[in-house]
């Protein structure tokens, strides 16, 4: 079979109402899969908020490098609770996601005045 004829048939099908419908459906399915995926830290948003509040109380305001120490304290708090509940340490990929979540949740709590 000649490749040009095959490509013409494929092109005709893609430009038919059925082909357009199938391609549009496929595109929407892919986009739905991409946009509905939440970051891993979203599952632990409440725990992250508790960790941020715990760190604010545990590390005094007059401490050197208080921001980094509070971040570290919040992360330790979250990982300790995770390990107790799951019976194993958090995987490195989740730890990275939790670090991102700590920054975002802390900023939101600070902006809302609930920290």
pLDDT in tens, 81-95: 999 999 999 999 999
Residues 50 and 104 in one domain: yes
**pLDDT digits 0-9 by tens, 40-70:** 889 899 999 999 999 999 999 898 999 999 9
> Where does the pLDDT of residue 1 fall: very low under 50, low under 70, confident under 90, or very high at 90 and above?
low
Residues 11 and 63 in one domain: no
Query: What pLDDT sits at residue 114?
Result: 86
Residues 80 and 96 in one domain: yes
Residues 80 and 46 in one domain: yes
Residues 52 and 100 in one domain: yes
Residues 53 and 29 in one domain: no
Burial group, residue 55, by CB count within 10 angstroms (0-12, 13-18, 19+):
buried
Q: What is the mean pLDDT of the chain?
A: 91
Q: Which domain holds residue 15?
A: 3-35
Distance, CA of 106 to CA of 97 (rounded, Å): 14
Residues 26 and 66 in one domain: no
Q: In a 3-state reduction of DSSP, which class is residue 114? A: coil
Q: Is the pLDDT of residue 37 over 80?
A: no
Q: Is the pLDDT of residue 34 over 90?
A: no
Residues 30 and 47 in one domain: no
Count: domains in the chain: 2
Q: DSSP letters along 63-112, please?
A: STTHHHHHHHHHHHHHHHHHHHHHSSPPPHHHHHHHHHHHHHHHHHHHHH
List the one residue out of 46, 51, 38, 39 whose CA is nearest residue 100.
39
């Amino acid at each position: 079979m000649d490749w040009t004829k095959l490509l013409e048939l494929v092109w005709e099908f893609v430009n038919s109402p059925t082909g357009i419908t199938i391609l549009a459906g496929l595109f929407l399915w892919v986009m739905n899969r991409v946009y509905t995926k939440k970051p891993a830290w979203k599952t632990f948003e409440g725990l992250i908020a508790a960790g941020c509040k715990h760190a604010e109380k545990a590390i005094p305001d007059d401490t050197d490098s208080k921001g980094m120490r509070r971040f570290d304290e919040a992360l330790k708090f979250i990982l300790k609770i995770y390990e107790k509940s799951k019976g194993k340490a958090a995987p490195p990929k989740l730890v990275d996601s939790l670090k991102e979540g700590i920054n975002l949740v802390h900023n939101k709590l600070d902006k809302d005045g609930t920290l």
